[in-house]
Chains A and B, each alone.
Chain A
Amino acid sequence: MCGIIGITSRPGKVPESPAFIVRKGLERLEYRGYDSVGVASIVDYSIIVRKGKGKIKDVNRRKHLDRVPGYTIIGHTRWATHGRPSDVNAHPHIDCNGVIAVVHNGIIQNYLELREKLTKLGHKFRSETDTEVIAHLIEHFISEGLKPYDAFKKAIRSLKGSFALGVLISSEKDKIFFARKDSPLIIGLGDGYNFIASDIPAFLEYTRKVIIVHDFEVGYITPDSVHLENVLTGEVIDINKRIHVIDWTPDMAAKGGYPHFMLKEIHEQPRALKDTIHGLGVEVENAIKLIMNANRIFITAAGTSFHAGLVGDYLFNILAGYTSIPFIASEYSKYKNSVGEGDVLIAISQSGETIDTLMALRLFKKLGAKVIAISNVVGSAIPRESDVTVYTRAGPEIGVAATKTFTSQVMVLSWIAVKLAYYTGRIDETTYKSLLGDLHRVPELANKTLTLVEGETKLIGEEISDRHSVYYLGRGIGVPIALEGALKLKEIAYIHAEAYPAGESKHGPIALVEDGFPVIFIIVEDEMKKHILGNIEEMKARGAYTIGVVSDEDKEARKLLDRAITVPYIEPVFSPIIYIIPLQLLAYYTAVKKGYDPDKPRNLAKTVTVE
């Protein structure tokens, strides 16, 4: 996901300079990506490009994006898909002669084929991105004698994949060409100025008159006009019939039909998991090589990522027969005298910038250990300083409470554990294939889970919203699920929630249980289940209100429970990805019932960058 914006204006028609407006618009699109940013402007029939890696604020400080001259400007904020975040890979991308600039949101599926073709024709590519082919393709068609707009349309017809595009061609000094297929694109209409953008909030301060561009529509804006046509049929569209005036708040658009980012991101999990699986490649093999040659394996992370790490720890032990040592990142100094060469640290961080994890990583590196990073942000600090990085492909996560990044991290760790088990001969080929097949089915199961459990979890969330304390209990693989479920409830619903291995109840915590005390059980279909059933009985005997996440193959537990949330059966070792979904929803609906904003929990920041 990336964000694009473009403005073309007559002088004096907008209250601030167009470059300043573009920079502000990009900041409003930052939720769509923030690893690099850039702008291009037409000045005196030539194109100026300023771009760089980093957040908008930082790049602007370095490159003064908002001081670019000109009245026809496009901008882009990037979330890396093809090519790591770097100054070169940042958009806009230009053709060989620097007369065409392109900003793009989406993925060009046939870019390799086009790139090869254009390279043979003598085009020089600077970046690793798919987008750059578009600039060269337009250049190529112009060189064949087509007029700029016709060349642009012909280029669009050659593309396969998804795109929302903004294009500058230096000879057309007040035009921004645009096209859309499967990625959002909106036109904003002003008096003497017009916009294009990925979302309405980007220009909402300047106009409320919008046109939503549909798939296969192309055209161009000038300060005083909009041309829109269907690229397949050539039919010119009467824009007057398509103008909407909007009167809503800017952040609605980003949420795409969801009241909160957190709910949106919970629902994005099937897609995030699928993308993560598709993105797993040679890095996994490299990571496994390091693990196989390690003396000891340490796993470190903070918060939700640590819980993913605990799942990894369980899987390394159970599946692959490797002992790992998980520790909370801020406690890294404990290992300052024991770590050495040959050890491997797996550092997990969504942002790749978590300071505690980074400090642990630096200590381990200094002591000679190798580091494998698992992160969601390409090119962030932790991946940069690691020997191998496996990326999750969850996309930007805006809600402070981690959801889709947790399940994606668990997917990566599960994948590594299964391969490790196979490579070390702990499982045979049939089991290996079967387990990988199970992992491939997880996105679909996650979708099914979301569909099945939301009603029940909403009801339970409303029921427990007036309680002051909740226990989350599990055994084996259920323990990290319980820990993560409890963390979610704590951080967004502000209810004290404690998770511990269910066997510990009788060693102390059960003393707190009284009539109606909610206890949430994680009941996985493995050999620990019979013990969990005993734990439910002991809690019921003390009047607890028992809630359980159970598999649809369960026959016993749901009879004991006051409330059962049924999820589809999954191979027990992969249960965290599925079982956490109802617990995320439970926390969400509890918070909503209490009137809290789950996206902005008090006292918390998305990325913790201070020790």
Chain B
Amino acid sequence: MSKLYERYKAIVFAFEDKDISPLNINYSKYLLRVIGKPIINYVIEGLKSIRVSEIYVLTDNKRLSKYLGEFWGEVFEENTILTSRDKLSEAIIELKDMLGKITHILIANGELIVDNSAYKFIIETHTTSGVDGVFLTVPVTDSETYTTVLLEYNLVKDVLLPPESTKSSIAYGGLSILPIDALDYIVEFNDLYLALKKVISKSRIVQAAWNKPWVLIKYPWDILSANKMLLSELKIKRISTNARIAPSAVIEGPVIIEDGAIIDHNAVIKGPAYIGRETLIGMGAFIREHSSIEDNAVIGAYSEIKRSSIQVHANISSWCFIGDSVVGVNASLGPKVVTLNVLPSGIKVSRLHPVRVKGRTLTKLGAIIGTGARIGACTVLYPGAYIDAGKWIKPLSIVEGIIR
């Protein structure tokens, strides 16, 4: 007898969008790293944890498609459909033939980062409630940035897209089990969310109310929230025996240091923090809480990194301060580049919440530095500064913040 979960097949929607640019330009949103893993891997691992029988990925990004085949094996190569958003209907028609005869389909957003137990939770809710489908739902603030739902007790009565979404503070959690008719509705509307609306009007869908941490990566700073969420759960120190750590380095609190990382003399890593494979943390550098230094990144001597995500192959030179920032793949920062990270009071950025620091309430956001950007020495980046992918900033520049 097969396990219950094997009866489900899943479709992952992984289309690029501009809210996270410039980090996904010449790259893929779903390949950006969160604590050592590409975002897409969180969803795939989640689905694998409940042993779904087949996983299909719809994407418009060739790089992602290639990665899935290379990393997850041949089956994924076959099961990844390269299409564009406006040709979703055609892709779903193609997919329906591959799915065979099933009654329900599991739909997941590729940008979902949540504990694997959430996947189990919706399946248990589905099997125990005996209804047509289940939405993972999550209470949120900033509902204007989410797709939200209207509920009547635990029944989902409607799906609200921005700007209507502010009528509810319960977000669709990016994970659902739907009756198979949903695919016909996607074909009809060429849109997932309009299809969800129709499914709800035709079927009994209940919510699975998720009360634990959860992040849907939409904006660059959501990567920082995901870092914080995952690192907060880290309770132990895990240092690879293949990492090289200078005897005078200080590693404090829960920290992961992966294979091939080099931590030079007098560097201080204050956890929770993540240091990826083949990274170099220079002499006297200071890596502070909730930071992730992803694979092959370099942090120069005496630089300080605080609550930031330094993506793969990024290079931070010496004497920099990078706070509350995301540095994109292959970006390079010259010496003494400084990010300012306290937003002027009165400015609200969606999904960023103020923090209390010594009696003051501050909203913190540093810079978002695009893929392959180069920042000249001694540049000052104002809070909320965006540097486009591949852009070169001259040394000694001042870059004003742009809040999108």
Please list the residues of chain A having a beta carbon within 8 angstroms of any beta carbon in chain B: 184-186, 199-200, 209-210, 212-214, 243-248, 252-253, 256-260, 263-264, 267-268, 270-271, 447, 450-459, 515-516, 543, 545, 562, 589, 592
Contact = CB atoms under 8 A, between A and B. Distances in A.
Which of the listed residues A209, A243, A252, A451 has the most CB atoms from chain B within 10 Å of its own CB? A451
Contacts of A247: 3-4
B202 interface: no
A252 B208 CA distance: 11
Contacts of A246: 4, 124, 127
B359 A454 contact: no
Nearest to A270: B153
B152 interface: yes
Interface residues of B, number: 40
A256 B359 contact: no
A256 B139 contact: no
Contacts of A209: 1
A458 B141 CA distance: 9
Contacts of B130: 184-186, 212-214
Contacts of B212: 259, 592
Contacts of A459: 141, 353
Given A259-B209, A592-B211, A210 B127 contact: yes
- Interface residue SS majority, chain B: mixed
Given A257-B206, A257-B207, A267-B153, A458 B139 contact: yes
B4 A562 contact: no
B113 interface: no
A543 B210 CA distance: 34
B168 interface: yes
A199 B128 contact: yes
A369 B27 CA distance: 79
Contact of A450 (B143, B151, B356): B151
Given A247-B3, A271-B153, A212 B139 contact: no
Interface string B113-153: 00000001100110111100010000111110000001111
B248 interface: no
Nearest to B208: A257
Nearest to A259: B211
A185 B128 CA distance: 10
Given A244-B4, A247-B3, A260-B211, 4 more contacts: A257-B206, A258-B154, A264-B154, A451-B167
B279 to A, nearest CB: 31
Interface in B326-374: 353, 356, 359, 361
B238 interface: no
Contacts of B359: 515-516, 543
A252 B139 contact: no
Nearest to B207: A257
A163 to B, nearest CB: 14
Interface string B43-60: 000000000000000000
Contact of A248 (B124, B168, B206, B208): B124
A245 to B, nearest CB: 5
B283 interface: no
Contacts of A243: 1
Given A267-B153, A516-B359, A592-B211, A245 B2 contact: yes
Nearest to B154: A257
Contacts of B129: 184, 256-257
A243 B170 CA distance: 33
Contact of A244 (B7, B154, B207): B7
B266 interface: no
A455 B153 contact: no
Nearest to A185: B130
B156 to A, nearest CB: 10
21 contacts: A185-B130, A245-B3, A248-B120, A248-B124, A252-B125, A252-B128, A256-B206, A257-B125, A257-B134, A259-B121, A259-B212, A451-B150, A451-B168, A451-B170, A452-B167, A452-B169, A454-B170, A455-B139, A459-B141, A589-B139, A589-B211
B15 to A, nearest CB: 25
A267 B152 CA distance: 9
A259 to B, nearest CB: 5
Nearest to A210: B127
Interface in B260-312: none
Contacts of A259: 121, 209-212
B211 to A, nearest CB: 5
A451 B153 contact: no
Nearest to A459: B141
A318 B150 CA distance: 35
B209 A455 contact: no
Contacts of A454: 139, 169-170
Contacts of B127: 200, 210, 212, 244, 246
